[in-house]
Amino acid sequence: MNQRFTLLAAGILLATSASAAVAASAAAPPLLPLPQSIAPSKGSFRLTGQSVIVVPPGDAGARAAAERLAGLLAVNRGISPAITETQRNGAIRFVRTDGITKEGYRLDVTPRGATITASDDAGLFYGAVTLWQLATSGSDAIPATRIADAPRFRWRGLMLDSARHFQSPEFIKRFIDWMAVHKLNTFHWHLVDDQGWRIEIKKYPKLVEAGAWRTPASAPGAPTLPRTGGYYTQEQIREIVAYAAARHITIVPEIEMPGHALAPIRAYAGLGTGVIPPPGIESDWGVFPYLFNIEDGTFTFLQDVLTEVMALFPSEYIHVGGDEAVKDQWKASPRIQAQMKALGIRDEHALQSWFIQRMEKFLSSKGRRLIGWDEILEGGLAPNATVMSWTGVEGAVAAAKAGHDAVLSPQPVLYLNHRQGGTSAEPPGRGEQVTLRRVYDFDPAPDTLTDDQQRHILGLQANLWTEHMRTEERVAYSAFPRASAVAELGWSAADKRDFDGFVDRLVPQLARLKPMGLEASSSAFAPFATLGPAGGDKATITLANQIGAEIRYTTDGSAPDANSPVYARPLSLVMPTRVRAASFRHGMALPGNLDQTVDAMTIRRRDDTQLKLCTETIALQLEDDAPAEGKRAAFLTDIMNPCWVYEAAPLDGVNEIAVDVGQIPFNFQIGKDIEKIVFRPPATPEGEIEVRIDSCEGERIAVLPLAPAASNPALTTLKAKIAPRSGSHDLCFTYTAKGPSPMWAIDAVQLIPRP
């Protein structure tokens, strides 16, 4: 990337803003994350523009929480209660007391007003967030209730990668706002990597001069794309850190070492092992071989950088990366091998441990704690280091058993750069699906640990790696609502986990966030369709959604509503028919919808997400490199084996096949694994798409030369006649080539029936 609560209510009351309301079913308010205990009472408190907020005299923390509550109410309700230190009737009161758990609070709502009680500033703020949620549940009358609440884990985090793609300071602040109203408290900021250096370091200005900008990769012969990038000035960072602190979010900066060091080595070549990076590779993805050397001057550089970083970030922890440090350049360097011998270091893994321990001593001398990815376990862990376990939970378990603190952040389940669904609506990202349900079902308390060892699990964190998130909109879409599930895992008691209840509380939470600028993904809610022929002029359409919610549909072109037919089984339709569908819960439509034309062509069409990948060694949904501006295609492919199968293709009456293809650069650093990518030899210079029947080694039934597509940087439709066939058959699509670049990808396959 710990306790119990009781829900004292017979059911769930769900109501949201007019745009996304969910009807009431009983008495528990739609709060997310779910509090430890909720005790409903009689009556209600009416919160209006004339209400006031009372804070203790001279209590700056209480006033800050009150101001934040007033600001949130202004965004969602259009009211902004006055703040005073004078006691009033019918008021919202902030009260400071001893004895409440850190970050915990108590919220009492009666017909006379609301009282938020806590021992620390964070607790007052989180109580204010809960009251805001109650006040934005569809009515200005807040049901009387008593809530006692505190978090399960102390580390409840999200990581944002600003190195691969830069996000504006304004977006970072919005992201922090979204985190804060989920009671997430740690923002891990990935500021440097091979592809970019995003933080101004006064002593070393070339870091941003050489490392903050790059030209994106494009396929051979394609137009050069505009330069992209940016960096954060120290003034901007101070402002963002203060903004986060006001919302009780700690920002943990990450400065990668000893690997992922291409950007600083490009700026200052003396930091590396003497291998000069070729120009342009900073636009590649994957794992680069460039490591820092171990000269005293390099450690001076790193300490200088961290000194400036620590002056900007007051966090207890400083993240040093430590992951994916390919040791080849250390092994090949006579200088480093001689230094290892002189130091008595047995191998390169032990050298990395020595490197990290040296940095840990420096950070410890400055009153900070080192945290790194679980590779810092290799060769022995520094005495006071904390492990962030990403390759699974094993690193966290090993650290906890050894008496070290750990944060759970395992891939793929907490890697939010994975696709959320299986349709073409998904933006580019990792090919394996990580659904909302899959995130919610993750258990952040490994059962192999004793109670004492469990105390070393600080919490959990989900990560947003942005190789394929070119825009801020994609970052937001990829983060939420899965980050909402992470928030509940980090805050709420494990024994009350209930996905259906979570969904009921999630829908109004997303409605609250829309006025705050969040356009979240609807992948978990939206219906998706599978089409197929049913003989003659009929077709079948099968509908589903991820969460098993009720689906209502229409076939007359109108938008579905609560009175539309309920989908119960596959539909048999006369073609052509327009099918529109939406998911419903408690009689109200959920976000997302389906609008599908069913005709003789669409039932014989499969886009890349509907084709089956032959293998999934490194499955990615990759964006086309053209056009420079506007919408681009995205291709689901395995970069190690570009091969697709149209399963059970209906070939009756089909005499032609059309394939929409695009070319993209092979910009991946995969080391010697590139030798594993093998193609059939091409018959023409540009190569060909080959179509084989029944298996990928079966009879070749069509060849589509790629020459017409070679000069087109966007999509090209290739066509070929095929001999008549009967029945349904698997069709395998591959292409011939001399090597991996350019990489060809299929956007869609269309079977064309005889006129």
**Residue numbers annotated as active site:** 324
5 in Cβ contact with 492 (< 8 Å): yes
475 in Cβ contact with 517 (< 8 Å): no
515 in Cβ contact with 78 (< 8 Å): no
Q: Look at the chain and count its residues.
A: 755
Candidates 453, 404, 482, 423; CA nearest to 178 is 482
The DSSP line for 275-293 is PPPPTTGGG-EE-------
Cα(244)–Cα(221) distance, rounded to whole angstroms?
45
Strand partners, 148: 37, 106
The DSSP line for 565-594 is PBP-S-EEEESSEEEEEEEEETTEEPS--E
Cα(514)–Cα(503) distance, rounded to whole angstroms?
17
Q: CB neighbours of 498 closer than 8 A, spacing ≥ 6?
A: none
Classify residue 203 by its DSSP letter. Answer: T
Candidates 501, 589, 493, 592; CA nearest to 31 is 501
| Alpha carbon separation from 203 to 241, 308, 309, 618 (Å, rounded) | 21, 9, 12, 40
For the beta sheet containing 37-46, the strands, ordered from the edge strand earlier in sequence to the opposite edge, are 6-7, 37-46, 141-149, 105-110, 113-118, 92-96, 52-54, 82-84
Cα(122)–Cα(715) distance, rounded to whole angstroms?
52
Classify residue 158 by its DSSP letter. Answer: E
Radius of gyration of the chain (CA): 28
Number of CB atoms found within 10 A of residue 575's CB: 17
**Residue 347's Cα: distance from chain center in Å?**
36
426 in Cβ contact with 419 (< 8 Å): yes
Place of tokens 């699990």: 457
Helix (H) or strand (E) holding 338: helix 334-343
Which amino acid is it at 572? S
Cα(159)–Cα(172) distance, rounded to whole angstroms?
12
**Residue 752's Cα: distance from chain center in Å?**
38
Cα(511)–Cα(695) distance, rounded to whole angstroms?
48
Cα(538)–Cα(536) distance, rounded to whole angstroms?
6
Residue 637, token pair as written in the block: 């492919």
Place of tokens 């091409």: 682
Q: Is the torsion defined by CA of 304, 306, 312, 314 positive or negative?
A: negative
Candidates 66, 65, 78; CA nearest to 17 is 78
